[in-house]
Each structure stands twice: as C-alpha cells, then as structure tokens.
C-alpha cells in the first residue's frame, strides 16, 4: 500500500503520537473554520499537535487555527473532542526551535512519551 507524505503525516500525528507531548498551560486563541476566534488554554503541546480547552463540541476533521502569543496562526485539524477538551493535529510540524522556545517561555509541567 502506497501513501503520500501528507497521508503518512496525518496517520503519524493522529495515531502514532510521533513526538513527546509536554503538559503546560498557554493562554491562546482558537478559531474553527466558519467561526470566530475564542480564548482558550493549550494544555498539551508537541511538534505535531496540541490539546486545548473547548466548551463547544467540535467534530473530527474540522479545520481550525491556533494562535499562540507572539506567533502567527497555526492551521490544524480536529482529531477528537471530549469533555470540553479538543485534540488537534497541526497542518505542518512545528519547528523544534519554536517548540523549545515555547517550552522555555511557559515552563514544563510534564513530558509524556509517545
């Protein structure tokens, strides 16, 4: 079975958890396709995705954009929503340098290995 690189990435980011996730709290903004941006907190971040607070029920596959302080919006796709939390896969991997800078700025609560 052949996959293109986009499909490989989607599978890896959603199923394999190809990167360690770091628990932290970052005040952010999230905008779902067709909606207005709202305040949220990112609770979990890796180079391939994040989880954040989200009162509104979202469906897997919905497009959204996460804006972290000091950064441009990051496009993402909803993977799951459960009990007011949403998990999303980033459209492209976050630069390890940017990721490390975010961790340095907001502190690390815990690193969860894939």
Q: How confident is the model at residue 36 (pLDDT cuts 50, 70, 90)?
A: very high
Task: Work out the average pLDDT over 71-87.
Answer: 97
Pairwise CA distance, residues 1 & 71, whole Å:
38
Which distant-in-sequence residues (6+ apart) come within 8 Å of 27 by Cβ?
39, 40, 41, 69
Residues recorded for the chain:
114
Are 12 and 6 in contact, with CB atoms under 8 Å apart? no
Q: Give me the pLDDT at residue 109, please.
A: 67
Give the closest residue to 52 by CA, choosing from 60, 65, 61, 43.
43
CATH code of the domain in which 104 resides? 2.40.10.220
Comparing 101 with 14, which gets the higher pLDDT? Answer: 101
Q: Indicate the average pLDDT of the chain.
A: 86
What domain range includes position 9? 5-112
Number of compact structural domains in the chain: 1
Q: Give me the pLDDT at residue 1, please.
A: 42
pTM above 0.75, yes or no: yes
Statement: residue 76 has pLDDT above 60:
yes
Write out the DSSP string of 34-78: TS--EEEEEEEE-SSEEEEE-SS---TT-EEEEE-TTS--EEEEE
Statement: residue 88 has pLDDT above 70:
yes
């Amino acid at each position: 079975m052949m996959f293109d690189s986009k499909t490989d990435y989607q599978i890896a980011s959603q199923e394999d958890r190809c990167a360690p996730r770091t628990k932290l709290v970052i005040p952010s903004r999230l905008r779902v396709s067709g909606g207005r941006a709202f305040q949220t907190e990112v609770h979990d971040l890796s180079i391939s995705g994040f989880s954040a607070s989200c009162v509104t029920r979202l469906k897997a596959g919905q497009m959204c954009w996460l804006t972290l302080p000091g950064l441009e919006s990051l496009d993402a796709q909803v993977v799951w929503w459960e009990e007011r939390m949403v998990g999303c896969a980033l459209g492209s991997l976050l630069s390890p340098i940017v990721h490390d800078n975010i961790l340095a700025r907001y502190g690390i609560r815990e690193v969860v290995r894939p």
